[in-house]
Chain A
Amino acid sequence: MFSSRRHDGLRDVRAAVPAAAKRGIMFLSILASLLKIAVLLGLLMTAAAYLVLVERWIAAWVQDRLGPNRVGVPLTGVRLFGLGQPVADGVKFMTKGEFTPSHVDRILYALAPIVIFAAAVSAFAVVPLGAVAPPRFWSEWFDVSGPIALSIAPGLDMGIVYIFAVGSVAVYGVVLGGWASNNKYSFFGAIRSSAQLISYEIPLGLGILGVILVGGSLRLDEIVLHQARSGAWNVVTQPLGFVVFCVAAFAEAARLPFDLPEAEQELVGGYHTEYLGIKLMLFMVAEFLHMVLAAFLIVILFLGGWHLWGLTGSAEAVAWPTALLRAVVLLTKVMAVILFFMFARWSWPRFRYDQLMNVAWKVMIPWGMINVVVVAAWMEYGGELADWMNMSNIPGLAIVGWGALLICWLATSIIDPTATDNKPRPELPHINDCVGQVPRT
């Protein structure tokens, strides 16, 4: 049931109108897109700046400190609980001397932050905030019909694939930055990062597959609509996929239990050790945007997007008040997930590198595969099984899903595939015995 319906009413009418009107509509459509891009970019930059402040607050509060609470309106002494801090941070980053270390590869050094930032921002083009029914005068004046989608590229049928494609470009930014810096710590960070990001893309994709199978579409707005219509969020029916996707999303965003790329205590700063000023700011903003994107995806794919029972309805397009309410619900959920991300940073210690890889390959990938198999089997035979169990489709899938999670978790705990033995192996030659044989260059 891959839908071919276009949400963008502007496109629908293109074929049916004369050339002059066509040009006008094209102009309008470009203008609308530019407007949406401007609004979204502004929102994202502001959000990233203030999320830095929130992150610092939470870091401080969790450590029994107060955090930034001084910067307010400049020259007045008004403090505003430190809400001026992001502005001060931004000004500081931008007015810093633009220094390039002499030992770097200049072109790649300048390219890396641009790559990672562009990749992070462009992924937001398909993130839907909902759709709104146009007011009547709009349809009459511009001869368009259909709901107006509140996202930049609403008609994209392969939204989730696009996000994945763009998201995997981010690893190039990290690798380029680490390589161009010509610094051991940066390089370690980049190498760790490339292996980690590539490994965790597999469970990330597996976690999504189940959702796509049930939702029947790659479009994010369609996936949300499916959850809203059935009233059961995917986290209820596919908890296994949710866990796999969450863990992989943490790793893809390089947040703390998996922040090996920049592990401050080990690598100074990881791949952006050699950066300063506005380039460093681009790296940091991109990092926060990755986290925001991960939160958006978790909410849209598993936590029902803008849907909340009894509040937002489940129609595809609604009038402005409800559309606004949906946006608020969506953003509240996203904020809650982001807060969880920030709490997680201080709650659990970082994985060792081999543990990180073991979790990806020996736990998360099998779990993701089991989830896909369970959901696919349910899609094929679920109806009969539900009939036999004498219940409707959704609770049946939920029971099977939670059962699968329980069994997987129990089996993993018993087998314990991530356990490692650090004991040295005497049958292997000791490093000191090999010294003479190592060719010295």
Chain B
Amino acid sequence: MKPDEENITWVREPRLGLLGRSYLMLFLQGLTTTLRHFFSRKITVQSPEERHEMPDPSIYRGVHRLNRDEQGRVKCVACFLCATACPAHCIDIVAAESPWPDREKYPQSFTIDELRCIFCGMCEEACPVDAIELTGLYDLTGKSREEMIFDKQKLLSVYDQTKDAEPMRTMRVKGRGTRGEG
């Protein structure tokens, strides 16, 4: 099949002027660009000593946390919406009857395989009680695969660790309203 010649408009690049064809301008242009950058301020962040400054950690999708309510209990009601929404099937919840009167179920165990997780944030979108959230922690490392499977205790401890730097979304909406959506 030949290309449809009559429907094709050939656009030629404009012919360079004499100075352009002499290659001299390109020569100078390239050299001045590299020299300018050579002496300009470097943007490298020296990572272990300096930390990358995140403008707004609440929109970053890092390590998960399980939020606590005012009484320090896990907020999760074991509705399985996050596990259902998860495209990587990395959330595993075992529900049990709640010991507290304000809900029917609570998660007896709640594990996230951080190695399977693709950090898409669907769980956080799906959660009806804002119990699971992605934090701004971006340097997630471990020495074994087992270590990277986070259980309920670990996820709650991530909350304890980050709650001061990143307040819970619902709390913030009530307090200051920095985030547009509810």
Contacts and interface: CB of A to CB of B under 8 A. Distances in A.
Interface of A: 58, 61-66, 343, 346-348, 409-410, 412-414, 416, 419, 423-424, 426, 430, 432-433
Given A66-B44, A433-B2, 10 more contacts: A58-B38, A65-B43, A66-B42, A347-B31, A348-B27, A348-B30, A409-B22, A410-B22, A413-B22, A430-B3
B37 A347 contact: no
Interface in B1-29: 1-3, 5, 10, 12, 18-19, 21-23, 26-27
B104 to A, nearest CB: 55
A158 to B, nearest CB: 35
B37 A424 contact: no
A64 B42 contact: yes
A66 B45 CA distance: 9
B1 A430 contact: yes
Contacts of B1: 430, 432
A347 B22 contact: no
Nearest to B28: A347
A348 B26 contact: yes
A122 to B, nearest CB: 34
A430 B5 CA distance: 13
A64 B40 contact: yes
A414 B20 CA distance: 11
A410 B27 CA distance: 16
A424 B3 contact: yes
A410 B3 CA distance: 39
A343 B22 contact: no
Nearest to B19: A413
Contacts of A424: 3
Given A413-B18, A426-B2, A64 B34 contact: no
A106 to B, nearest CB: 38
Given A426-B5, A432-B1, A347 B33 contact: yes
Contacts of A64: 37, 40-44
A363 B8 CA distance: 34
B10 A61 contact: no
A347 B23 CA distance: 13
A423 B40 contact: no
Contacts of A410: 22
Contacts of B18: 413-414
Nearest to B2: A430
30 contacts: A61-B42, A62-B37, A62-B38, A63-B37, A64-B40, A64-B42, A64-B43, A64-B44, A65-B43, A66-B42, A66-B46, A343-B34, A343-B38, A347-B31, A347-B34, A348-B26, A348-B27, A348-B30, A410-B22, A412-B22, A413-B18, A413-B19, A413-B21, A413-B23, A414-B18, A424-B3, A426-B5, A430-B1, A430-B2, A432-B1
Contacts of B5: 426
A190 B81 CA distance: 56
Contacts of A58: 38
